Amino acid sequence: MDIPFSELIDYWEEPDEIDATNVRNARTVWSINTKPFHDAHFACVDQYTEILTYEGWKTHNNLTTVDKIATFNISDETIIYQIPSDIYKYNYDGQMIVIENQWISQYITPNHRVLLKYKRGSRKKKILDKEWDYYHANSITPHSGISIPVSGKYNGNIKLDKYKAELIGWIITDGHLRKTPTGHSLTIYQSQTKNPEKVKMIELCLIKSGVTFTKNIRNRIYKSKPYIMINFYMGVKNNSWKWVLEWINEDKTPKWKLLHLDEISLNMMYKSIILGDGNTREDGREQFAQHNEYNRKWFRVLCTHMNKRTTEYNKRGLVNITQKNYANIHTSNFSNNIRTIDYTGIVWCPNIPNSNFVARRRGEDNKWRIFITGNTFPEELVERPVDAGTPRKICTECDKAVKIVYEKVKEDNIIVDMKMIEISCDCEAPFRKGIVLDMFAGSATTLLVADSEDLDWIGIEASEEYAEIARKRMREGRHKVKVPEGMKRNSVRRGF
């Protein structure tokens, strides 16, 4: 848009037909994509924070711009994987904000944008904000408590029959994959004495999945008590089950791509996993018992894809699951859960369209916490005011700007389109570009936007440190601007 909204109102005959909420909405500021940059002392996470990608968890050392990163859509609370345009990191020596309890562990720079909802109201009646919003870490206040997202709903792009997905869950928990010189065999075990319903469910899954099998009944004794064990056996020459090898590793651990099944298949697989190696309490909370660390890591991402919150108890191999997608920090625990520390090391941040990402970090007890956190200051934040307040053409004779207005195109007295019209002076002189003046240039975000839109610009910055950052950033910018080294100290300027 090349004209301020107020001028549009002046030009149109019927301003009451305009819905101002479609043009000016404060909340859209924080839905803008972020663009951090090298050497910018902006919002980042510490070097021990890992990020969730399509292929698994990665650190800042092995994350690349071809990795798909898990992000959180704040409007519908879904998980979406997006490719970053850049990954930025720098050495940092200063204060960090720590937000940590049994569910989350964020080590972030003070101006990092934390995604949260405030609880407001009295102790007896607390009301949670309806929408997720971003707040700088050093500006978070207790209010009546806060909630931070830790998971979302995910509908993957891989299709698998729901009965096969359920069968995979049973194999992960109760199966035994054996490799022989001639091939693989598979056996699924279940107690007929203790779990007759589970035996029926496994058998039904095998039948519905088109798998042929041999059902063996074995009489066993455990702690002097007899019981009946059912073995569902699939041999080396039985090819009806070999599709399983596409989803399960030779050590019977699940392949990571299972986490990208469609939503229905994820739910079916999750159900059989809980039935096999878990339990459900009366209050709806669930537990998953697994000594294999990879399986626990994999399972917790499965829960992250299913809008669930998890905590881990390493010594017992337990993962606790709660039917919530957020973690609470209560007012009474605020000072203990949010604190400031001194930090020296690498901080880093990816540039992702959704402006946040799914991360994990070990807490002080060395247990992993999974959470969702925001990004840094975006360039698009200044694009609207630059577009609205800076003319693209200015007459070199009279210094009047070319005004752009929009005329309504009507059909049968109904507005169907808007036609752009340029209104200029009568000088017939050549035009020059508009100029953007930023008297507090900082790290040159506004100037970079102006340059990308082919406008002239002037930047003024009092801090020598940030003036140098601005110079470097403009040289490395989209148009590779040549900023003179001999220019006036603490200023950034483009000739025009």
Q: Same structural domain for residues 39 and 105?
A: yes
Q: Are 358 and 115 in contact (CB under 8 A)?
A: no
Q: For residue 381, is it within any domain? A: no
> Which residue, 341, 374, 407, sits at the end of a domain?
374
- Within 257-412, residue ranges assigned H as helices are 263-277, 293-304, 334-337, 380-389
Quick check: is 450 in a domain? Answer: yes
Q: Is residue 384 part of a domain?
A: no
Task: Clarify whether residues 181 and 273 are in a common domain.
Answer: yes
Spatial CA neighbour of 354 closest among 205, 158, 134? 134
145-161, pLDDT tens digit by residue?
Answer: 999 999 999 999 999 99
In a domain, 397, yes or no: yes
Has residue 76 got a pLDDT over 50?
yes
Residues 180 and 215 in one domain: yes
Q: Are residues 427 and 437 in the same domain?
A: no
- Residue whose structure tokens are 């065999």: 185
- Residue 68 belongs to some domain of the structure: yes
Who's near 16: CB < 8 A, 6+ residues apart? Answer: none
The separation between CA 115 and the C-alpha centre of its own chain, rounded to angstroms, equals 10
Which range (8-12, 108-112, 179-183, 234-238) has the least confidence? 8-12
Whole-angstrom Cα distance, residue 187 to residue 180? 14
383 located within any domain: no
Residues 118 and 213 in one domain: no
pLDDT range class, residue 465, cuts 50, 70, 90: low
Domain end point (choices 279, 294, 318): 318
What's the whole-number mean pLDDT along residues 10-18? 34
352 and 219 together in one domain: no
Specify whether 10 is located in the same domain as 91. Answer: no
* Amino acid at site 161: D
* Phi, psi (rounded to 5 degrees) for 369: -120, 135
Residue 382 forms part of a structural domain: no
Look at residue 477 in the predicted model and tell me its pLDDT. 60
The overall average pLDDT reported for the chain is 84
| CATH code (residue 68) | 2.170.16.10
Q: How many domains does the chain have?
A: 4
Specify the pTM: 0.72
pLDDT for the residue 495: 33
291 with 329, same domain? no
218 and 299 together in one domain: yes
Nearest partner of 445 among 33, 25, 23, judged by Cα = 33
Residue 172 lies in a domain: yes
pLDDT single digits (tens) 192-243: 999 999 999 999 999 999 999 999 999 988 888 899 999 999 999 999 999 9
pLDDT on residue 68: 96
Side-chain-facing half-sphere of 372: CA atoms under 13 Å: 35
Q: Does the pLDDT value for residue 293 go beyond 60?
A: yes
399, 449: one domain: no
Note whether 354 and 306 are same-domain residues. Answer: no
Bridging pattern class, strands 146-149 and 113-121: antiparallel
Query: Does pLDDT of 464 surpass 90?
Result: no
167 with 308, same domain: the answer is yes
Tell me the pLDDT tens digit for each residue of 23-62: 333 333 333 344 444 444 456 899 999 999 999 999 999 9
Q: By C-alpha distance, which of 206, 171, 167, 209 is closest to 188?
A: 171
Structural domain for 145, as ranges: 33-152+325-374
